[in-house]
Amino acid sequence: MTKHSVIFFDIDGTLLNHKKELPQSTKEAIFKLKEQGHIVAIATGRAPFMFADLRKELGIDTFVSYNGQYVVLNGEVLYTNPLNISSLLKLTEAALLNNHPVVYMDHEDMRANVPEHAYITESIDTLKIGMFPAHDPSYHEGRDLYQTLLFCPEGEEQQYEQEFSDFDFVRWHPVSVDILPRGGSKAHGIEQILIKLGVSNEDIYAFGDGLNDIEMLTAVHNSVAMGNAEDSVKKVAKYVTKSVEDNGITHGLKMVGLLS
């Protein structure tokens, strides 16, 4: 077993259970991996400021955030892929006409283009991050944005998908969709780290459970879907472990031979 394996973990439903808690068994497993000389990293759709406490708790300074749009290696920014602002402003104008608010997000903060909206409150609240976006409709000016949240019921994002080819739309909540640069993914973000480190795909592992993990689990040689993952996610993974609620991380690491 190489001492230079890199293991990427999704956060929600993978590292954190459905109460947004970090199981003690998972925390212990992460530290064992680090003791053995492995590089432990995070690959998430979240913004960097949404999991700063988790990185500190686990001692992790390498991560792929915003589904691949903002990548940090050993505490240093390695790769960024911002949204096309002119297209985003056109989308925002269309969304306002449909009473679909948006939240602009960069690597430091997030701001909403409306003062308040039930969809924003409902979906952001499920993340249990203790923060909500303040109102600043001009937050896009003079800064790079790596993700925007579009708030609309399921199916209503299709009109934007047809009109705005610069973007990919990934639903993460019944009333909220991630807007990402077209072709951006966790897999692409991970690739930037592998190139920099010179690590072969055989020494890469990834754990995930959501639809935004499909590209990652397809691309990574040693891919593990959580037992609580959707069937479409499990189908693309090399392994399927137990649920996050049932020590799934520890079980999965043993399955792939990283822990005894």
Report pLDDT digits (tens) over 6-29. 999 999 999 999 999 999 999 999
Exposed (0-12), middle (13-18) or buried (19+): which is 122, by Cβ within 10 Å?
A: middle
CA 22 to chain centre: 16
Q: Annotated catalytic residue: which of 10, 106, 168, 213?
A: 10
Give the global pTM.
0.91
| SS3 category, 196 | helix
What is the per-residue pLDDT for 171?
87
What is the per-residue pLDDT for 1?
40
What is the per-residue pLDDT for 214?
94
What is the per-residue pLDDT for 3?
53
Query: Is residue 10 flagged as an active site residue?
Result: yes
Whether the CA torsion 120, 126, 127, 132 is positive or negative: it is: positive
CA 136 to chain centre: 24
**Can you tell me the distance from the alpha carbon of 218 to that of 135, in angstroms, rounded to the nearest whole number?**
38
What is the per-residue pLDDT for 4?
80
What are the angstrom distances between the C-alpha of 128 and each of 11, 189, 209?
13, 25, 18
What is the per-residue pLDDT for 170?
87
What are the angstrom distances between the C-alpha of 188 and each of 80, 180, 216?
11, 13, 8
Q: Do 13 and 209 form a contact (C-beta atoms < 8 A)?
A: yes
Q: How many CB atoms lie within 10 A of CB 82?
A: 18
CA atoms within 13 A on the CB side of 191: 14
What are the angstrom distances between the C-alpha of 155 and each of 36, 101, 173, 178, 256?
46, 16, 12, 14, 38
Which residues of the chain register pLDDT less than 70?
1-3
Tokens of 207: 């754990």
DSSP class of residue 12 equals B
**Can you tell me the distance from the alpha carbon of 156 to that of 152, in angstroms, rounded to the nearest whole number?**
6
Tell me what percent of the residues of the chain surpass a pLDDT of 90: 92
If phi > 0 it is left, if psi is from -120 to 50 it is alpha, else beta; for residue 154 that is beta
What is the per-residue pLDDT for 130?
87
At residue 147, φ and ψ (nearest 5 deg) are -160, 150
Cross-strand partners of 167:
181
Report pLDDT digits (tens) over 150-169. 999 999 999 999 999 999 99
What is the per-residue pLDDT for 2?
43
